Amino acid sequence: MSAVDRRGGAFLLKGMKVIRAKSAGFCWGVERAIKIAENFAEKGKGKVLTDGPLIHNSQMMEKLERSGVREVGDYTSEKQLNLSDEEKEESVLVVRAHGISPERRKYLKSLGMEFRDATCPDVGLIAGRIKTGARKGKNTVIFGDPKHPEVIGLLGYAGGRGHVVQNDEDLKNLPDLEGGVAMVSQSTMFVHEFQRLSGILRDKYPEAEIYDTICGATKERQTDLRKLVQEGAEAIVVIGGHHSANTRKLAKLANEHERPTYHIETAKQIDPAEMCQYSTVGVTAGASTPDFIIDSVCESLRAIEHSPQNT
């Protein structure tokens, strides 16, 4: 039996084989946001407050809270913060990795607190693209989830000329767009869906500018999941928060490859009686899932003996 390879690879498990995707775990934007918050907490000069969840993983947020980082506000960073004058004076306010709208930024800075921006640079590039188009009077079509905090923040840069689409019907229901059209994507969407929908948009607006703004980490995870299937995974375990967009996408992609898919947050949610039917299992994780959770899931799977007769 070989040791767990934390950077990807396979190991034998009492007759069961587990293949871990190389890209499973933190993306660089999430790691950057965590380091920003943790660095201030380690200085011990005051409280570290995040405007809504810094990342979409409740277990990591709980760990951060134990180290002195506390979430305030709401999931979409839209409500006002209820902070005392003492908290404002003694705390640093950190912007979430998903980014915020210009209006939200202005509000947060008006609180008079020490302010640090942990927005993922990839999201910042999308915001800059939208802002540039808005200055030229262009309409921006955003492929994404209208309820996701990243999309809510991005819409704020569109100057009232932003439109969110998720499917063909949304594209069909777009109003007539005058003044030019550009299309971008939420950073964690499916590549093939963006390509298909952007093609439909360009059929209607031949001069539309199409910008593939799906981040490299998301593309890598989608590619690696396909590799798990190619390498013989009979089932896929996807680890990450159920409110994490990129994790849900991974689970959906696994289902589309006709593999039994188990979206879990921790090893406690593994059902040995269910998993023992598989001889080979693929493991991947969302961009906000820490290594300690992935390792725990892999260790738990190692302890399950492959028993096909129990299926």
Instruction: Give the C-alpha separation, 283 to 298, whole Å.
Output: 8
Determine whether 231 is an active site residue: no
Nearest to 261 by CA among 245, 287, 240, 243: 240
Whole-Å CA distances, 200 to 197, 205, 211: 5, 9, 14
Cα R_g (the chain), whole angstroms: 21
**Which one, of 280, 284, 285, 294, lies nearest residue 231 by Cα?**
280
Taking the C-alpha atoms of residue 289 and residue 132, their distance in angstroms, rounded to an integer, is: 33
Q: 94 with 159: CB under 8 angstroms?
A: no
The active-site residue, picked from 150, 207, 258, 274, is: 150
Catalytic site residues?
150
